[in-house]
Every structure is written in C-alpha cells, then in structure tokens.
Copies of this chain bind each other. A is one copy, B any other.
C-alpha cells in the first residue's frame, strides 16, 4: 500500500482536480463525474476510484469529514499539501506534454499498408466514426462547466484534425488500374 507522496497517477490527479476545481465532495460524485464525462478517459469504476481516494487520504492530500445533514456520506476536500500536489501535477511539463496513448496515431502508419479496396472501406468507416464522435462532443458542450468545456473543446479539435487527416489520404495506393 504505497502512498503517492512522490508523484500522482493520472487518475489520482484527475480525482484531486474533480474535488478541488469541480466541486464533487463525495467519492460517489467523483466516480459519476468520470462515468458521465464526454472527455475523460476512465470508466469511473468503483474498484479504481475508491482505492485511489483511500491512497490520497492516507497520504494526507485529501481530508474527509462525515456529512451530517441530509443523505449521509463522506465529504472530501483537499488539504494544503493536496492543493500543492495537485498544482505540481497540473504544471509538470514532462507529464503534460508526453504523447499519451493515441489509438489513431498508433494505426496511422498501417492503413496505408492495406489492400486498396479494404483500405478505402476502412477510411470511410473511420471518417464516419469521427464525424459521429464530433457531433456527440459538440452537442454536449453547453451542459459543461469551464474545466470540462476546455477538455471537450480540445477533444473536438483533435477529432477535427483526424477528420482532415483522413480526407487528405489518397483513396487508394498508386498501384491500381
């Protein structure tokens, strides 16, 4: 049971930011925020969120206080050390600028290797999936707060870049007919 005193995982940083900047005070609400977010990458599974909060509390980055009024539960807030850790996580330039895991980039060099007809069909499907995702993101925009909106706008820009990239691809390789 290691405590994240040195560096936070991406999920732990996201949990801290949800509590501090987006005002989710119970673990359940943090979890649901992940489940319903149009731009955050985790499923919000209980088996990830509750242990993460436990670790952050053990490291004294999160303070817990039982809720007395209304529904019972545990109200979460950041300790001064928690705020400092969150800020360090937000600003870490190495972490923030690393490439991340991008399934599109990973495949981008491989579509060109496909048989022309297979390739044309694949690109068509990809274009369709990107367009659908774009529409989903755009319609979700007005329900979001500042933080989620910025993330979602970034996702939109990414999908637009993918869409442009797909359209720039030649419909088939040189060797046909």
Q: Which residue of B114, B126, B149 is within 8 Å of A96 (Cβ)?
A: B126
- In the complex this chain forms, how many copies of it are found? 2
What separation, in Å, do the CA atoms of A90 and B41 have in the docked complex? Answer: 21
Residue A93 at the chain B interface, CB threshold 8 Å: yes
Known: A129-B96, A150-B112, A161-B157. A122 touches B41 (CB 8 A): no
Q: Is A102 an interface residue (CB 8 A)?
A: yes
Are A97 and B112 in contact, CB atoms less than 8 angstroms apart? no
A41 and B101 within 8 A (CB): yes
Interface residues of A, count at CB 8 A:
55
- Per the 8 Å Cβ criterion, residues 56-101 of A in contact with B are 87, 90-91, 93-101
Q: A122-B91, A129-B94, A133-B97 are in contact. Are A17 and B110 (CB under 8 A)?
A: yes
Taking CB atoms, residues of chain B closer than 8 Å to A122 are: 90-91, 93
Does A55 reach chain B (CB closer than 8 Å)? no
Contact A100:B101 (CB < 8 A) given known A110-B147, A111-B90, A151-B108: yes
Residue of A17, A96, A100, A150 with most partner-chain B CB within 10 A: A96
Interface residues of A (CB under 8 A from B): 10, 13-14, 17, 21, 39-41, 87, 90-91, 93-114, 118, 122, 125-126, 128-130, 133, 146-151, 154-155, 157-159, 161-162, 165
14 interchain pairs, CB-CB under 8 A = A17-B110, A39-B99, A91-B111, A91-B122, A95-B103, A97-B103, A97-B104, A97-B133, A99-B158, A102-B154, A108-B154, A154-B165, A157-B161, A158-B161
